[in-house]
Each structure stands twice: as structure tokens, then as C-alpha cells.
Amino acid sequence: MRGFFLRYRAMPLRSRLALLVTCTVALAVAAVAVSCWLLTRAQLRDQMDDSLRSLNVGGPYLADTVSRCRDTSSAPNSETAPGTTTVFVQVVQPDGTRCVGRGSPSVVTEEADLRVAQGTREQALHDGRTDDGQSVRVLTQVDRASGFTVSLSRPLSEIDTPLNKLALLLAAAAGIGVIGAGAAGLWVARTGLRPVDELTAAVEHVARTEDLNLRIPAEGDDEIARLSRSFNSMTASLASSRDLQQQLIADAGHELRTPLTSLRTNIELLARSEETGRAIPPDDRKALLASVTAQMTELASLIGDLQELSRTDSGPGSGKVQVIALHDIVETALERARLRGPELTFTADLAPWFVRADPPALERAIVNVLDNAVKFGPAGSAVEVALKEGALTVRDHGPGIPADELPHVFDRFWRSPSARSLPGSGLGLSIVARTVHQAGGEVALRPADGGGTVATIRLPGAPTPPPAA
């Protein structure tokens, strides 16, 4: 049995479905055929029993047998001529002797027949056989007119023959049904699995060619259609992810090219001065070294932002997510912002709020928002920070962001034309958006009333920490 199941599991899905359908139909047809045969057999036997009961023991034909047996009771089995009638008659004596009617074969007397003849039983109905082995149905009862015990028999071949024909007919019908079921099962399997074959071919095509633009037609709401739509959604997501990666590489290469080119130019100037012996004026040399330092700092910042962005792009599970106090994270970020903008005034109104997030990533995102406020806030202005019911707002009093630039502020490497002269990689707000979205929140920038910009970060959470597990 185990070997059969192993071979069954090794078969193709189409063959397994066809075999399953065939076996199911075969069992159903077999059950119906056997039930039909048994029901017909029971009905035929009941009809035979009813016909035996309906025979009149005192009728002319049976009366002849009784009268003959009255005179020849001492000579059983006389004038036996089996097979000339379909109703066999014989008289059974209490001692077991038999007087067989004209044209009837002698039937073997059983215990039930003797008990009727001896008066201990009113009637006996059972299967029996003749002396030559023919199967019969026997009804033994007392003839009240003569007092003799009479056995009436009919050959079971009367019902066995049509039952055998019915069995052959049912077997033929069952065989045709099973063959038809096998063919139908194979057709159903091929038709039903055609979408699976198309999906398999599509997956193999994608694996072979890396063509993520392939789409499978999905019609209806069945499981195959849902699987096709899921596959299309997966390939679309993979294509989008690959495009984003290629765009990130292209943008990173473009952004890295500028500081590297400038850095190489300045280093070549310093090297040429050393090689030719023509000293660079001290002020120019100092400015050149300062430029090299600034470019190296900008390059390091850009590489750090790229690393952070690639980490956040790797998915929500890229960091260790835990319950943290958002107000504490904001307070820590504010301390760093105060060091970077000593000429600014920071006000904070922080209500307790606990969220589930990656602590380093969330702190980096809040620091980026505060850095933008420091970068664009004029000296002596205020940066107002508030945290109420999960909404963190950072408002500066800088020049603000034009309405036509707001849709692009979270794009990678995008920088406002007015801010291109300021330090930065153009990745800060993109990192903020990624981190907040992965924590289940949302971030937005809008112009502030009276000038400046308001950055709003909303994160799901609660004012109290959850109970310890």
C-alpha cells in the first residue's frame, strides 16, 4: 500500500486527477450496480415466495397428487419425471418419506419440512435442492382438506438466469461508465490544469529570461484566477523593485560623480604643485584643503545615506522592531539638533507615546527632519516641536517649500533648486518616508501659516506601554 501511495505521489498532477476521478466514478458505479442487483434479486425472490403462497393446495392439480399419495404413500418417489413443470409438488410424511407428484423431481427434505409434517411448525419457506442437485425455493405447509404436508417448489433458475443477465448488463454498463469517466477525468484534468500549465510556462519563462513584464490573463474569481493575479502582482512588484534599484544605482552614480570629480581635481592640483615645485599660495592651499575636507565629508555623508536607504529598502524586518518611547527618541534627536544649530531656539511639547519601530532607524528619521529645520531656519528663529496623540510636528520659520515642489520632497536625490548650494545628499527625506512607512505611519510636509514649513509624522501607538508578556 505504501508503494502504491509513493507511485501515486510521483505521478503528474494531471494523471493523479484523472485517476482520482476514474476511481471515484468506478466506486459509485459499482455501488449502484451492486445495489441494483441486490434489490432486483430481493424483489424476484419475494415474487417467487408470493407465487408459492398463492398456489391453492386444494386445487385440481395438487388434489391429484394428494389423492395419488393417499393410495401410494408407501411407495415414495414413484413416477418421477423431473423438469416437466415449473412447480414441483411432493407430500412429506412425518417419518421423512416423500410422495412426489407427477412430473416433479424429488426435493431433499430438510429439518424444517419434517417439523411441519410432525405438526410442530405451521409453515417452512427456505432454499433447497432436488436429489439431482437443482436449486429450488421450497414452501412446506399442511393441506387442511386432506391433512397431508405438501412441499411446493420452484427452481431458483427462474430468478438466477435473469439475475445473471442483469449482472452482465450492469458489468458492461459499469465498464463503459468507468472508461468514460477515465476519459472525462483526463479531459477535465487537462482543461482545468491548462491555466496552471500557462502559469508554469510563465514562471519558467521569467526564470529563463528574467523578463518581469510578462503578465498572465486572469479571468473569473476561482483559485486559478487568484493565483494568476498573485503572480502578476508579484512580477509587477519585482519589476518595480528592480527599476528602483537600477534608478538608485544610476542616481547614486550621478551624485557620487560630482564630489569625486571635484575631489580628484583638487588632489591633482596639490600633486602637480608637489611635482613641479611650484608652491601654491598659502591662502589658496588652505582653501583647497578645506574644499577637499568638505568634499570628503559630503562623500561620507552620501555613502552613509545610501547605506541607510538600502537598509530600509530591505523590508520591515530589516531592523529589530520593538516597543519604544517616541517622546524619548524625539528628546534625544533634539539634543543633537541643538548642537548643530546653536543659533536657533528649540521649543518642545512632548506627550508620552509608545510605538513599535526600529529605534536607530526611527531616531535617524527624526534627526533628518530636525536637520532640515536647522538647515533652512534663519539664525535667531525658533524650531517648534510637538508630540500629541502620535502626531509629531516640526515647524521651522525658514523660506518654506513652493507648492510645485512639495510632491517631490520625498523623492531620492531630489533637491530644491534653492537648496542646491547647501550641504546634503537629497536622501534625508526619502529615508524619513521609508522608515515611517515601515513603522506603519505616514509623513507629510506643508507650508506653515506665517511662513516656514511644518513636517508631520504620524505613527500608530498608545500613550502607555503595553503590558509585559
| Residue at 189 is within a domain | no
Most confident of 178-192, 296-310, 356-370, 408-422: 356-370
Q: Based on the fold, state whether residues 278 and 351 are members of the same structural domain.
A: no
Mean pLDDT of 171-178: 87
| Residue at 121 is within a domain | yes
Q: In this predicted model, what pLDDT tens digit does every residue of 110-143 receive, in sequence order? A: 999 999 999 899 889 999 999 989 999 999 988 8
| Residue at 362 is within a domain | yes
C-alpha span between 25 and 36 (Å, rounded): 16
Residue 254, pLDDT score:
60
**N- to C-terminal Cα distance for the chain?**
49
Residue 191 CA to its chain's centroid (Å): 20
C-alpha span between 18 and 20 (Å, rounded): 5
Q: Based on the fold, state whether residues 295 and 363 are members of the same structural domain.
A: no
Q: Based on the fold, state whether residues 246 and 306 are members of the same structural domain.
A: yes
Q: How confident is the model at residue 184 (pLDDT cuts 50, 70, 90)?
A: confident
Q: Based on the fold, state whether residues 71 and 107 are members of the same structural domain.
A: yes
The CATH number covering residue 85 comes to 3.30.450
| Residue at 229 is within a domain | no
How many domains is the chain built from?
3
Q: Based on the fold, state whether residues 455 and 330 are members of the same structural domain.
A: yes
Q: Based on the fold, state whether residues 348 and 245 are members of the same structural domain.
A: no
- Exposed, middle or buried by CB within 10 Å (0-12, 13-18, 19+), for 285? middle
Instruction: Name the DSSP letter for residue 318.
Output: G
| The one-letter amino acid at 86 | T
Q: How confident is the model at residue 73 (pLDDT cuts 50, 70, 90)?
A: very low
Q: Based on the fold, state whether residues 322 and 416 are members of the same structural domain.
A: yes
| Residue at 445 is within a domain | yes
Angle at CA of residue 369, ends 368 and 371, nearest 5°: 60
Give me the helices (H) in 319-358, please. Answer: 326-340
Q: Based on the fold, state whether residues 146 and 121 are members of the same structural domain.
A: yes
Q: Based on the fold, state whether residues 435 and 339 are members of the same structural domain.
A: yes
pTM, rounded to two decimals: 0.45
Query: Domain span at residue 257?
Result: 237-311
C-alpha span between 434 and 310 (Å, rounded): 10
Q: In this predicted model, what pLDDT tens digit does every residue of 423-452 receive, in sequence order? A: 555 667 877 888 898 889 999 998 888 888
Last residue of a domain, one of 293, 311, 329: 311
Q: Based on the fold, state whether residues 241 and 150 are members of the same structural domain.
A: no
| Residue at 197 is within a domain | no
Q: Based on the fold, state whether residues 365 and 398 are members of the same structural domain.
A: yes
The CATH number covering residue 266 comes to 1.10.287.130
Give me the helices (H) in 137-193, please. Answer: 157-192
C-alpha span between 134 and 136 (Å, rounded): 6
Determine which of 10-24, 170-184, 185-199, 406-420 has the lowest per-residue pLDDT on average: 406-420
**Rg of the chain on CA atoms, in Å:** 51
Last residue of a domain, one of 311, 327, 359: 311
The CATH number covering residue 428 comes to 3.30.565.10
| The one-letter amino acid at 145 | A
Last residue of a domain, one of 283, 311, 339: 311
| Residue at 359 is within a domain | yes
Q: In this predicted model, what pLDDT tens digit does every residue of 5-24 receive, in sequence order? A: 566 566 666 677 777 878 88
Pairing of strands 382-388, 345-350: parallel
| Residue at 375 is within a domain | yes
DSSP lists the bridge partners of residue 123 as: 141
Q: Based on the fold, state whether residues 453 and 358 are members of the same structural domain.
A: yes
